[in-house]
Amino acid sequence: MGTELTMQDVVASTGMSADTLRYYERVGLLPPVDRGTNGHRRYGPQHLESLQFLNCLRAAGMSIADMRRFVDMQRAGAGTAIDRAALLRRHRAEVAARVAALQDHLALIDRKIAFFESDD
């Protein structure tokens, strides 16, 4: 892919839907997206990088509001690095707690499987 990407290129690369891309642009999660002479969006490498990180945050359960806070701080500059790190640390702790709970659930399921299989 070249330096300008179509929406279809970005959809294929990120796995995000076109609706999600338009929504992220509308709510300010993405930097402004240029338009070609035909009016179609033209994404640059910075958009792809941003989208990959936003996709990670969203898949890990971060709220749109917190994603927005992070992006706003990022745009405010290097002076917000400590606050951005704190937001990510809080979210990491939430994700780690969910992972631990899922591991507990998985262990219980494994015990039940073992119980049923030993009954044969």
pLDDT tens digit sequence for 4-18: 999 999 999 999 999
Tally of domains within the chain: 1
Q: What is the pLDDT of residue 119?
A: 74
Q: Give the domain extent around 32.
A: 7-118
**Over residues 19-28, mean pLDDT:** 96
Residue 18 lies in a domain: yes
Residue 2 lies in a domain: no
Residue 1 lies in a domain: no
What are residue 4's phi and psi, to 5 degrees? -110, 130
- How many other CB atoms are found less than 10 A from the CB of residue 111? 10
CA distance linking residue 33 with residue 35, whole number of Å: 7
Residue 94 lies in a domain: yes
Residue 77 lies in a domain: yes
**Over residues 82-94, mean pLDDT:** 98
| CATH code, 103 | 1.10.1660.10
